[in-house]
Structure 1
């Protein structure tokens, strides 16, 4: 089987890695370098802590295991894989009660959670007086572009190829099944299947392949401080982050996320707003995020910001990724719409796509266990988008 993966971000690289490891012929098509889109604008989150029990959490648990396996196969340094754990903190007793209820549902679904009475025991530089939180030992982090590049290099070692260009449309046979992908320069890449892993542009790529899916952009900012000695031990975020992730509001939403990196810089997020593909800088968002971070870690008031970057999270209307074969065009498989969770969910997505291609489970991914992510959930009878 020949497979063309459209997109060389973290999800496309993971799809290529697993498909090539399974012995399939793989060509990765992207108009730019590896990880140049949304992958390069993220923090590298591998989170279980922010996901309600359901289809996304199940994919996250699979992915968490596969990240460890990738670290063993490729070397954790090639990914900058760090099992630092997550700490979710509440700012009020009411918020703490809601957080404990949320954690109890996750515990019942198999996630490791630990109630924290004194936040300062885990984060000595945090603000005094915080009522408590929940520690998630399984949360982790990678350096996103390094991880995407490492996965793609491993795919190439398994025989995958890369092709620079832009997908212009599908080539189909008389039965309507995919036989290739036409690029913008007129070349045709032979294919028995095409994986739409185009991130924020997944909606447009789906349309060009004759299988449109509604993928919407949600802009987010991340702030980066000057390098410091180790000051923050975990990925620390406020409890309202979970609600903001699930929200469909169009306006600006911010919730504090703070973590250190191996380079010594501290990353501060996270903002979410629906502004289309507007890439302009918004100083008010930067100021809001900085103020929230300083309330959580007061020492940050004396620390310099060295830059702020922004990008687009690709999301579906129901805030779940769309993963699996599209019934309208045989041979098209979607792997997009992960919003801000694409880094963490990439290995599970790659394994699940490969399982769909093979028609059998692959590395713990069983299509029968992830039907809630299939694209047909958006289609009315007859294949018409709802």
Structure 2
């Protein structure tokens, strides 16, 4: 009778664990499908990135609960190795969070330059040469600030022509000011190398490993790929040092969540390959909009003649309105995005600490 009761309890526990793991896989899949449903205007925008981070935080919380509920199994091979490798990846992701927060600060500075342009040209009864010179200087500083860290020297003349001007000594000094911003990662740190490190040895568990860990190794593998994809997408979107992007995802479509993840991976790579995006600071939609509206306005200012005709005044209002819309999206979006990045950082640290504590408790139990 006692043996029968123990078997019954074990069977119930196994059934509950299977349901928990299946629910985790389904929830990850559903979140990725929701992200993949974004149209081209939404993909890689600030709202889309916030949705991506929310999906990561929710998945991380469920993963944390799985580890907490299965402590007795965490110190047994190959589970202990799987967890150790995941926690190493999560530590590497912390550097990506720091670099991305630096990039968000750069975007915030660009937003302040757009604000200067608006103060000079918007809601003015009459616009004279002084206002145009002030707006022009802010646009010049903006163009220099958006030069990609990794490619700024090689592409200096090309990028300057795209803004309709030549490089001057004053602009070179301004470039130095932008590049002296405080960074949380070292100057030789590379986002591309960090992504390679996160993806290293991230391979699907074998059938016998899944069986011997009661499916827990598959949950760790799933969370590992979610971590890789989220950091990869952040590096693609936000200015980072050495943003080499094409990381290959060694995934097959046998996992339900792999289908939307690979679809998103392909769409983001297609954005990267576009001629006007190859040398961009980041693929974030709002960054692209800053470049476009700044170029349009700069070209208009370069060709303005006094007094302005009614047609030119109307065109100026349209260009300033473009700047206003981009400025508002930056102003409203960067602060909550930065808070989410900070939350991701702290959640990764907490999950790792709790996971290691669970392994230690399991060892103590044995």
| TM-score interval, normalised by the smaller of the two chains | under 0.3
Greater C-alpha Rg: 2
Between the two structures, name the one with larger relative contact order (CA 8 Å, sep ≥ 6). 2
Higher relative helix content: 2
Return the TM-score normalized by structure 1.
0.25
Higher relative strand content: 1
